[in-house]
Structure 1
């Protein structure tokens, strides 16, 4: 709807028990992500190999609602994995993570469809904000559905960085169950 203001959008309570696919070989990062997911009652599917993650997605036995992947993985890196998702038309929000904080790496990830980019290493006591990338994903999708353009100002940073970057656009879309319009 043209002219819809953000005050007319009501965010449903973030549903618990989402299945999150995590692809990484770093035990420390996996521990932080698993802790963050479990605090919000989300289930974690951990794959230490990209090929195993491909199998999980192609078999469709588990309804994966978010993918978090290390950029630098053996055999299939994060960029190749995003290309696989695009080729197979798998529409799941994707978060890239890496120690590589270069403009090139982040831009390439966003161009291929990542909706967020976590910078590593994580503090073991840090809790990752998984709500932000998902909220942004569904908010952007709602705006695209309404044929409006979003400049992202509602999510603009106050100038401080918490080691996370987000995309202005997304290719991997699942559904609008997290946002209700009245």
Structure 2
């Protein structure tokens, strides 16, 4: 049967190389991630301060495909940064990294929309930045955002159907 069905999956189109923003106060971690990303043909921008990354994202000069950030940062931690991204409607896949291996931290990060939670120290950086592994994070983010949008759209449809309008234009809830 030719044509697309309503259940077909719209796969995101990913660029051949990714622009990655990495945020961490540990210069050694930044250097290792940058080296590994460069070996895998990705462009990397590093920030040692979260507010520098905020400024960079607000300028919108670089179209980032992925953000990797340490959870525990001064001034604005990873959770605060995720709230900033949501508030500014900056839709970029996000990987949180931390030495904090606790279930509450990982659960909170996932609830806020991270694609992955990487626990430090890393045994081997190189495989983590291969195109196919990073692509999985981006695709996971894409489908997560589609699911949220679908849920919001269905919620809005439900709210509209539960509301009727009187002749003077005011909304009245159905009882």
Do the two structures share a fold, i.e. TM-score over 0.5? Answer: yes
Structure 2: stretches of 5+ with no match in the other structure: 152-175
- Select 1:133's aligned residue among 137, 157, 163: 137
Partner deviation per Cα, 1:134-178 (whole Å, 9 max, x = no partner): 232234456x39969xxxxxxxxxxxxxxxxxxxxxxxxxxxxxx
User: Could you state the TM-score of these two structures normalised by the residue count of structure 2?
Assistant: 0.70
Pairwise mapping of residues 129-168 of structure 1 onto structure 2 (< 5 A)?
Answer: 129-141=133-145, 144=147
Q: Secondary structure of 2:122's match?
A: coil
Residue 73 (structure 1) aligns with: 73
| Alpha-carbon spacing, 1:139–1:36, altered in 2? closer, same or farther (3 Å) | farther
2:117 counterpart SS class: strand
For residue 155 of structure 2, what is the aligned residue in structure 1? none
The higher radius of gyration belongs to: 2
Contact 1:23 1:48 in 2 (8 A): yes
In the other structure, the counterpart of 1:57 is 57
**Residues 125 and 19 from structure 1, CA distance in 2 versus in 1: closer, same or farther, beyond 3 angstroms?**
closer
What SS does the aligned partner of 2:66 have? strand
Q: CA, structure 1 residues 134+103, in 2 after alignment: closer, same or farther (shift >3 Å)?
A: same
Question: 1:13-92 to 2 correspondence within 5 Å?
Answer: 15-92=15-92
Q: Decide whether the 8 Å contact of 2:33 with 2:125 is kept in 1.
A: no
Alpha-carbon separation, structure 2, partners of 1:139 and 1:85: 18
More helix by share: 2
Cα pair distance change 1:131/1:10, threshold 3 Å = closer
Cα RMSD after superposing both structures: 2.6
Q: What is the CA-CA distance between 1:25 and the residue it aligns to?
A: 1.4
Check whether the contact 1:28–1:124 (CA below 8 A) recurs between aligned residues.
Answer: no
Q: Distance in 2 between matches of 1:111 and 1:70?
A: 17
CA contact under 8 A between 1:29 and 1:121: conserved in structure 2? Answer: no
Q: CA deviation at 1:122?
A: 1.5
Change in Cα spacing, 1:112 to 1:145, as seen in structure 2 (3 Å) is closer
Task: Say whether the 8 Å CA contact 1:25–1:49 is kept in structure 2.
Answer: yes
